[in-house]
Amino acid sequence: MTNALCVVARVEAGEQPLVALRSVDPSIKQDIRYAGADNFTGRRVAGYEAAECWLRPQAARALAKVQADLLRDGSGLSLKVFDCYRPKRAVSAFMTWAEAAEDGGTRSYHPNVARSQLVPRGYIASVSTHSKGIAVDLTLVRSQAAKKGNSEQQAMAVQAEIGKPLSCTQTSDRAADAASLDMGTAFDCFDPKSHTASAGLTAEQRQARQTLKRAMERHGFANYAKEWWHFTFGAADDGRVFDVPVVAVE
């Protein structure tokens, strides 16, 4: 933990290699999926000892600019991050999972693509810009969302009762968070429907994806065409890759 805290710091403490996003912009919502079991592996991922978003300082500041634009444009939208810096050991854990035999436990994350095809088809990779602290997985949420449940949440509850989760292509992150915009699939849905320009989306879903993409591109982030949620801030890439675990930073 000591080594990790030497690498990450609050932004006001100086330009450390990685900074906690909360110290740059605490208004950005965080739902770090790999720090728990709510992800395609079905368990907490190695290297995630805390549910915190870390980024290179330049990337964190750029993301804060995206958030500032959203908060002042009158749209009522805000950012929510699912993953930021990803320790190299976590990338290795993903590869180990991808190379293991199909067990069906989390097939809802890749209903139409066999686990053995996730690496060849570009959904899981042996190296990741996340490990450089320059990539972020995120979505848009409404800053003032109704607290009541929605049809997706009700459908999830019914599926939970019968023990069969909805496919990631049949739902969105609104099922777990009513504030989330409907992006057409859930986060980490390894499927052609997650491709940013996928066909078969509703007008609302296409607009939501394009709103996110335009907002991110305006401040130097580039989208990965196979994942509507994945953006990289290439200007902060100095070649370094990190493997320190993500821990809570006071």
The 10s digit of each residue's pLDDT in 6-23 is 565 554 445 689 999 999
Whole-number pLDDT of residue 14:
54
pLDDT exceeds cutoff 50 at 4: yes
Domain ranges of the chain: 2-236
Whole-Å CA distances, 208 to 53, 184, 190, 243 = 23, 9, 19, 33
Prediction pTM value: 0.88
Active site residues: 227
Q: How confident is the model over 28-48, as pLDDT tens digits? A: 999 999 999 999 999 999 999
Mean pLDDT of the chain: 89
Q: CATH number of the domain at 2-236, please? A: 3.30.1380.10
Kind plus residue range of the DSSP H or E element containing 62: helix 57-72
Mean pLDDT of 70-99: 97
Q: Which amino acid is at 114?
A: A
Whole-number pLDDT of residue 8:
59
pLDDT exceeds cutoff 60 at 152: no
Whole-number pLDDT of residue 105:
85
- Distance spanning both ends of the chain, measured CA to CA: 13
Strand spans (E) along 188-243: 222-224, 227-232
Rounded CA gap, 101 and 110, in Å?
A: 14
Whole-number pLDDT of residue 146:
40
Q: How confident is the model over 191-230, as pLDDT tens digits? A: 999 999 999 999 999 999 999 999 999 999 999 999 999 9
Whole-number pLDDT of residue 158:
39
Q: How confident is the model over 90-127, as pLDDT tens digits? A: 999 999 999 999 888 899 999 999 999 999 999 999 99
Whole-number pLDDT of residue 12:
47
Query: pLDDT over 90 for what percent of the chain?
Result: 76
Higher per-residue pLDDT: 125 or 156: 125
pLDDT exceeds cutoff 90 at 53: yes
Higher per-residue pLDDT: 157 or 236: 236
Q: Which residue, among 184, 214, 215, 181, has the nearest Cα to 198 in the 3D structure?
A: 184
Kind plus residue range of the DSSP H or E element containing 81: strand 77-83
pLDDT exceeds cutoff 90 at 135: yes
* Residue 196: Cβ-neighbour burial (10 angstroms; 0-12, 13-18, 19+): buried
